[in-house]
């Protein structure tokens, strides 16, 4: 998956170590600091390598969790829920492992009436990313119709890592898609800066219309709609290394992303239409592999941190907090690091960072944050399969 840099035996051993720390540090499934703690949500449920949690916004309150191997689980949003049901199983179609798999899920804004939802996954022979639409079963709201798949978009992956994977509808009703730079290390094909390819980008498409031979429409105000230079018209922003997780602040419409760094710097970006976020010219706020570089026109991160120590090594993008149970975090961007499990709250104003403070820590690999239909925040632990919620202790 995009944020999991599983590239060596040493990394596998690190994950095993994280699993051991789960037992040592969190016997009660509660991790505390002075103001906040992580409490186990849905303690009767565990998942197989969960990478996404979301809601259908269909007035049922249900929660949907993606398992990387190729399944989506659905369950009632109650603390004492005993079991989940398989909403969709496409494991036979998905190439998973490392950073590959079923990585993204987004429900159509009119899901309650049309039953459409969208997934982002990798498959092999050839290795490629697929963006598909499915439809819920006509007879069972807790089961999708696996035969209803309509492929909207697919593109080759030159390597097995940096697949991006996030899907989300913006406040404008368009579907946004994150794509990694194609993998390997250092973006050897310079895909992120190449606007003729889809890799290393944030894409935006219209799933309610079609343009030309596409199975989707190109929004008229996309930066390169109708261009004559050969740039892909789906591009909304570029220069991304691997924006594993992004989200919209529904109150303001602002698009936030955590872009995983190469060897030194992890960054948080506010994504703007047509923006170039620098990779591989820059990594975070520094020139990449050179002492000087041309930075004119590049968008700098709102926040960044250097890898190492107890800070982190792989940013996991989160959400601007709109959780009514966490008034002290209202409006702050909550994000974390996959490796260390650190969770931070970034205070900001006018697209500038004011203060960054660690509020909690999770063990077991912080793969994603999620929101339910009431905008309550959740934290997903990848290796343990547990889900947590952030709780104020004051």
For every residue of 12-34, which 3-state class applies, written as one string? HHHHHHHHHHHHHHCCCCEEECC
C-alpha 236/C-alpha 61 separation (Å) is 31
Instruction: Give the count of alpha carbons within 13 A of 7, CB side only.
Output: 14
C-alpha 161/C-alpha 201 separation (Å) is 15
Would you state the pLDDT for residue 227?
A: 98
Query: Taking a C-beta distance cutoff of 8 angstroms, is the pair 1, 103 a contact?
Result: yes
Kindly list the averaged pLDDT for each block of 10 residues, start to end, along the chain of length 394.
Answer: 41 33 34 83 98 97 98 98 98 97 98 98 98 98 97 98 98 98 98 98 98 97 98 98 98 98 98 98 96 96 97 98 98 98 98 97 97 98 97 89
Query: Taking a C-beta distance cutoff of 8 angstroms, is the pair 386, 18 a contact?
Result: no
- Alpha-helix runs per DSSP H in the chain: 9-25, 111-114
Closest CA to 300 of 332, 271, 335: 271
Query: Taking a C-beta distance cutoff of 8 angstroms, is the pair 122, 130 a contact?
Result: yes
Would you state the pLDDT for residue 15?
A: 37
Would you state the pLDDT for residue 32?
A: 59
Closest CA to 333 of 310, 349, 314: 349
Would you state the pLDDT for residue 13?
A: 31
C-alpha 168/C-alpha 64 separation (Å) is 14
C-alpha 350/C-alpha 62 separation (Å) is 35
Q: What are phi and psi of 16, to 5 degrees?
A: -60, -40
Would you state the pLDDT for residue 34?
A: 76
C-alpha 318/C-alpha 258 separation (Å) is 8
Would you state the pLDDT for residue 22?
A: 28
Query: Taking a C-beta distance cutoff of 8 angstroms, is the pair 294, 304 a contact?
Result: no
C-alpha 292/C-alpha 33 separation (Å) is 41
Q: What angle do CA 253, 347, 380 make, to 5 degrees?
A: 75
Q: What angle do CA 111, 112, 118 make, to 5 degrees?
A: 15
Q: Classify 392 as helix, strand or coil.
A: strand
C-alpha 199/C-alpha 129 separation (Å) is 10
Query: Taking a C-beta distance cutoff of 8 angstroms, is the pair 376, 323 a contact?
Result: yes
**What are the residue ranges spanned by the domains of the chain?**
44-315
Which option is the CATH number for 44-315: 3.40.50.1000, 3.40.50.2300, 2.120.10.30, 3.40.640.10?
A: 2.120.10.30
Would you state the pLDDT for residue 9?
A: 32
C-alpha 238/C-alpha 267 separation (Å) is 15
Query: Taking a C-beta distance cutoff of 8 angstroms, is the pair 204, 217 a contact?
Result: no
Quote the DSSP letter at residue 329: G
Q: Classify 38 as helix, strand or coil.
A: strand
Judge if pTM exceeds 0.85. Answer: yes
């Amino acid at each position: 998956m995009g944020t999991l840099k599983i590239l060596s035996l040493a990394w596998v051993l690190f994950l095993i170590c994280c699993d051991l720390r789960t037992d040592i540090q969190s016997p009660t499934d509660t991790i505390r600091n002075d103001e906040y703690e992580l409490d186990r949500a849905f303690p009767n449920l565990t998942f197989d390598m969960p990478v996404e949690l979301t809601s259908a916004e269909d007035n049922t309150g249900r929660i949907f969790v993606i398992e990387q191997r190729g399944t989506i689980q659905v369950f009632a949003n109650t603390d004492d829920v005993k079991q989940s049901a398989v909403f969709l199983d496409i494991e036979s179609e998905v190439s998973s492992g490392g950073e590959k798999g079923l990585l993204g899920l987004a429900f159509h804004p009119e899901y309650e009436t049309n039953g459409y939802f969208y997934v982002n996954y990798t498959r092999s022979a050839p290795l490629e990313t697929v963006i598909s639409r499915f439809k819920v079963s006509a007879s069972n709201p807790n089961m999708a119709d696996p035969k209803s798949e309509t492929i909207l978009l697919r593109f080759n992956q030159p390597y097995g890592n940096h697949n991006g994977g996030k899907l989300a509808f913006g406040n404008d009703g368009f579907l946004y898609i994150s794509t990694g730079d194609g993998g390997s290390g250092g973006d050897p094909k310079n895909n992120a800066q190449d606007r003729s390819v889809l890799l290393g980008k944030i894409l935006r498409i219209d799933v309610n219309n079609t343009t030309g031979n596409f199975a989707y429409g190109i929004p008229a105000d996309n930066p390169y709609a109708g261009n004559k230079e050969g740039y892909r018209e789906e591009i909304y922003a570029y220069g991304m290394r691997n924006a594993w997780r992004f989200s919209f602040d529904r109150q303001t419409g602002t698009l936030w992303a955590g872009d995983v760094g190469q060897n030194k710097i992890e960054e948080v970006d506010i994504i703007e239409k047509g923006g170039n976020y620098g990779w591989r010219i820059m990594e975070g706020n520094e020139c990449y592999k050179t002492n000087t570089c041309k930075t004119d026109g590049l968008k700098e991160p709102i926040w960044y941190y250097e890898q190492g120590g107890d800070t982190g090594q792989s940013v996991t993008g989160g959400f601007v907090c709109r959780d009514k149970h966490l008034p002290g975090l209202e409006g702050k961007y909550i994000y974390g690091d996959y490796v260390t499990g650190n969770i931070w709250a970034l205070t900001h104003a006018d697209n500038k960072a004011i203060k960054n403070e660690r509020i909690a820590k999770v063990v077991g690999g912080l793969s994603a944050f999620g929101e339910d239909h009431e905008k309550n925040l959740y934290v997903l632990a990848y290796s343990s399969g547990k889900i947590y919620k952030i709780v104020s202790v004051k």
